[in-house]
Amino acid sequence: MSEKLDKISQDIAVKHGVLLGKDDPILMLQTMNEHLIEENRKAQQDFLAQFREEMEGISSQWRVDAKEKAEKVLNVALASSKEAMARLLQESTNESVQTLRKLISDSLIEAQSLTRKTQKIQPICVDIINCIACCMFYAFLMTM
């Protein structure tokens, strides 16, 4: 008998006062039980390995899904940010154009006003210049 079976036989003899032989059905059941336990252990290890593979696959898929969703969220946020920047730039440009138009318009109005005033004063200035020229000519003639 193996050491294990010898130990079992000794324990039964000590506790129950019964000696077991090699052909005793209880020892046969013990051997069968050991084989069943070993088969069960191997099956559990196989199931555990399969479960681990499935969990790793699920975890990997979750990681891929999370990455894709994060990229989508970032792309949407980036697109929204670009749209907002474009809108603000357009509004700012429109305001600048309006300000420049008003400034140019005001400048043109002022230039037209000055031109009108100059046109009104021009004949008077010509008359004054003519008068001064006549006085100078008369003074020249008097000195001769």
Q: Exposure pattern of 134-143 as b/e (b: 16+ CB <10 Å)?
A: eeeeeeeeee
Structurally, the chain folds into a number of domains equal to: 1
pTM: predicted TM-score of the whole model, two decimal places: 0.47
pLDDT value at residue 55: 97
Domain span including residue 10: 3-142
What are 38-82's pLDDT values in tens digits? 999 999 999 999 999 999 999 999 999 999 999 999 999 999 999
pLDDT value at residue 63: 96
pLDDT over 60 (residue 1): no
Distances in whole angstroms, Cα of residue 67 to Cα of each of 59, 63, 74, 79, 80:
12, 6, 10, 18, 20
- CA–CA dist 111, 115 (Å, integer): 6
> Which string of DSSP letters, residue by residue, matches 73-90?
HHHHHHHHHHHHHHHHHH
Torsions phi, psi for 21 (to 5 deg) = -95, 175
What are 5-21's pLDDT values in tens digits? 788 888 888 888 888 88
